Amino acid sequence: MAACWARVRGRLRKEVGEVEYRTWLRQMTLTGIDGDEAVVVLPTRFLRDWVNSHYGDRLRALWQAEDPSIRRIDIRVAQPNGAEAETVLAAEMQDASAAPEDAPGLAESLAPRPPAERSAPEPRSDWIAPLEARFTFDTFVVGKPNEFAYACARRVAEQPASPGFNPLFLYGGVGLGKTHLMHAIAWAIREHHPERTVAYMSAEKFMYRFIAALRSQNTMEFKESLRSVDVLMIDDLQFLIGKDNTQEEFFHTFNALVDQGKQIVVSADKSPSDLSGIEDRLRTRLGCGMVADIHATTYELRLSILQAKAAAARVEVPTKVLELLAHKITANVRELEGALNRLVAHANLFHRPVTLETAQEVLHDLLRAHEKRVSIEEIQRRVAEHYNIRLTDMSSARRARNVARPRQVAMYLAKQLTQRSLPEIGRRFGNRDHTTVMHAVSRVAELMQQDASFAEDVALLRKMLET
């Protein structure tokens, strides 16, 4: 049996690779065969759940290939002699991210906790989603659009649950760094306050767990262990919109934790007041700590991010190329990163330096997508439709606000999305002067700063036109 087990392990090790094997699977021990079931143990619940969900089927298949009489694999937690199980958790989190040098100081959090602190109910380890090693404060590039959110995140990481910062509500569009900042907070708290338990999960996961608990009539355990954490972080709260029961549960957990002086950090794609579909009492509570938004990136921020990431990847990328990307790939940081990664991968694969030419070649689809030609007519038509005015009003002399504003929006979009000059745009809008266009462009930009729902409207129009 031992030989059979050794072969199964060997196969699995080959399949998943050395790093993955060492991180997750090395600690598996076969404790026996029970009828058609092989019993394998791991030192913690977290590892057990991870191995079960990621490698369970594979393990069974490999074993059956060796010995068809084995039908099931029972993966269990080893009964710890003493209380080592919990302290291994932190080590696993670090393993999960596989690059400890990126997260300095984590070793401190591996220190065993004094036994006195273990009496409270333990949060279930599998609630703590693995943290991404790269998502630390060190790797977060700060610029105008995110400096406030960054400062708030740092503050919460240094002094969890300080008045005025609880809850911390981070919001902004996709790919702008919300998850990055949340992981950074979690890493930093682990480092500076290793005695505090941090639970980080997506709202979706929260809901999923809650429903599973309801189904298995385990809601007490769910509630208790969640209420025993010191810092609760829920990412992408917008997932809870319309999920009334889960929202209710979250609301109670939230209150219980805040009352105990525990820190809550929440992220969402909108501000509390714009999150329609969230119960009012929850909205009120969400907004009563610190609300920090992450704005769309600016050219400067995109360029600094690219510089930082290129340096981290240790690949020489000419400034011209970084500028091209910062200029063309404006949607969000995730896309920007994707483009750079492609360039870097290409350079490594072919041992060729990155140049403007190779960049254009490698990224031609991306760059072209962002160059999609939109005509002024198309813009006028879409904007008129959106604001429910007549197309002819785009070039009419009417100055009533309800037509003048949409017209300005169309001019703004024409400037943003086409290569046309200001005088040319003016001509297409009923022979207006280029200064009128200029005024429209700056007026719309200004309004977008002041009025979030207007900004959203314009962004939506832009998106429709670009895709």
Question: Counting contacts by CB under 6 A, is residue 295 touching ligand ADP?
Answer: no
Question: Counting contacts by CB under 6 A, is residue 318 touching ligand ADP?
Answer: no
Chain centroid to Cα 6, Å, comes to 39
Q: Which residue number, 194 or 338, has a Cβ lying nearer to Mg ion?
A: 338
What are 186's two structure tokens?
A: 């979690």
Question: Counting contacts by CB under 6 A, is residue 312 touching ligand ADP?
Answer: no
List the single partner that 333 binds among ligand ADP, Mg ion, none, CB under 5 to 8 Å by kind. Answer: ligand ADP
Considering only residues 336 to 355 of the shown chain, the ones binding ligand ADP according to CB under 6 A are 337
Q: Give the nearest residue (CB) to Mg ion.
A: 179
Q: Give the nearest residue (CB) to ligand ADP.
A: 177
Amino acid at 374: V
Q: How far is the CB of 273 from ligand ADP (least distance, A)?
A: 19
Amino acid at 225: S
Query: In angstroms, rounded to a whole number, what is the distance separating the alpha carbons of residues 208 and 203?
Result: 8
Q: Which residues bind Mg ion (CB under 5 A)?
A: 178-179
Question: Counting contacts by CB under 6 A, is residue 270 touching ligand ADP?
Answer: no
List the single partner that 50 binds among Mg ion, ligand ADP, none, CB under 5 to 8 Å by kind. Answer: none
Q: How far is the CB of 327 from ligand ADP (least distance, A)?
A: 18
Residue 235 to residues 77, 184, 269: CA-CA distances in angstroms?
29, 13, 10
In the shown chain, the binding pattern of residues 119 to 138 toward ligand ADP, with x for contact by CB under 6 A and - for none, equals ----------------x---
Applying CB under 6 A, the span of 108-116, 223-231, 311-319, 333-341 interacting with ligand ADP comes to 333-341
Question: Counting contacts by CB under 6 A, is residue 146 touching ligand ADP?
Answer: yes
Q: Which of 58, 328, 334, 381 binds ligand ADP (CB under 6 A)?
A: 334
Question: Counting contacts by CB under 6 A, is residue 174 touching ligand ADP?
Answer: yes
Residues in the chain, overall count: 467
Q: Which residue number, 231 or 305, has a Cβ lying nearer to ligand ADP?
A: 305
Considering only residues 379 to 438 of the shown chain, the ones binding ligand ADP according to CB under 6 A are none
Q: How far is the CB of 136 from ligand ADP (least distance, A)?
A: 10
In terms of Cα–Cα distance, which of 265, 197, 274, 273 is closest to 236? 265
Q: Is 396 exposed, middle or buried (0-12, 13-18, 19+ CB in 10 A)?
A: middle
List the single partner that 95 binds among ligand ADP, Mg ion, none, CB under 5 to 8 Å by kind. Answer: none
Q: How far is the CB of 176 from Mg ion (least distance, A)?
A: 9
Q: How far is the CB of 180 from Mg ion (least distance, A)?
A: 8
Q: Which of 124, 178, 190, 462 binds ligand ADP (CB under 6 A)?
A: 178
List the single partner that 243 binds among Mg ion, ligand ADP, none, CB under 5 to 8 Å by kind. Answer: none
Q: How far is the CB of 334 from ligand ADP (least distance, A)?
A: 4
Q: Which of 5, 50, 63, 140 binds ligand ADP (CB under 6 A)?
A: 140
Q: How far is the CB of 338 from ligand ADP (least distance, A)?
A: 9
Question: Counting contacts by CB under 6 A, is residue 180 touching ligand ADP?
Answer: yes
Question: Counting contacts by CB under 6 A, is residue 333 touching ligand ADP?
Answer: yes
Q: How far is the CB of 290 from ligand ADP (least distance, A)?
A: 17
Which residues of this protein are in contact with ligand ADP, per CB under 6 A? 135, 139-141, 146, 172, 174-180, 305, 333-334, 337
